Amino acid sequence: MIDIYSWTTGNARKVYIMLEECGLSYTAHPINIGKGDQFKPDFLKISPNNKIPAIIDQDGPGGAPYSMFESGAILMYLADKTGRFLPADARARYTTLQWVMLQMGDVGPIFGQAGHYNDKATGPEHAHARKHFVDDGLRLMAVLDKRLSESPYLAGDDITIADFLTWPWCREPESRGLNHDDFPAVKAWFAKIGARPSIAAVNELCEEVRAGREVRRVK
């Protein structure tokens, strides 16, 4: 059983998607970041950076509970635990990890800042920052679009954790000053993954979590 402590953000959805795709049993514990739950001492014990998501695998390495923070590390861990969505072949594995790092180091942070300045900090005093982050968001969308025009998924012919990490950050592009219509390969990939049963399950889960309800799903 996996205990996941999280909310309903893009980073939260990455882990929910992976849990669903891997068929793992889990309990989702709401951490309402709008109310500051991420700063409570109990959460700090499993997430030293005070950020969601974090997990405790009750059957971790050696059979003992094991806690983790950082969404990219969590997905790599769950992939190794289940033997799914991260290839064992060295070439395919490192191709996947390159796209994982692009999401963690570029897509997530830049799209997050683009969303902040385009949707929240909208005053003229933020115009320079807004242009910077939206322009870089457009550049990254072009990088993804080029890759996905050459390959059905980010790491190649098969879906991997790179797709599960990146997909949630491509939701609601208009809030970041972006438009899927300008990037047809991204748009097609986004729709393809969005049609997977795991996404519907995660959307339903997020409604429960947002309402402050703990959710247990046994596979």
Spell out a b/e string for 57-90, using b for 16 or more CB atoms within 10 Å of the CB, else e: beebeeeeeeebbbbbebbbbbbebeebbbbeee
**pLDDT, tens digit (0-9, with 9 covering 90-100), for 55-108:** 999 999 999 999 999 999 999 999 999 999 999 999 999 999 999 999 999 999
Spell out a b/e string for 152-165, using b for 16 or more CB atoms within 10 Å of the CB, else e: ebbbbeebbbbbbb
Q: What is the pTM of this model?
A: 0.96
Top-level class of domain 90-196 = mainly alpha
Contact in structure between 186 and 179 (CB atoms under 8 Å): no
Torsion angle defined by CA atoms of residues 42, 40, 104 and 168, in that order, rounded to the nearest 10 degrees: 100
CATH 3.40.30.10 fits 2-85+198-217, yes or no: yes
Domain ranges of the chain: 2-85+198-217, 90-196
**pLDDT, tens digit (0-9, with 9 covering 90-100), for 101-140:** 999 999 999 999 999 999 889 999 999 999 999 999 999 9
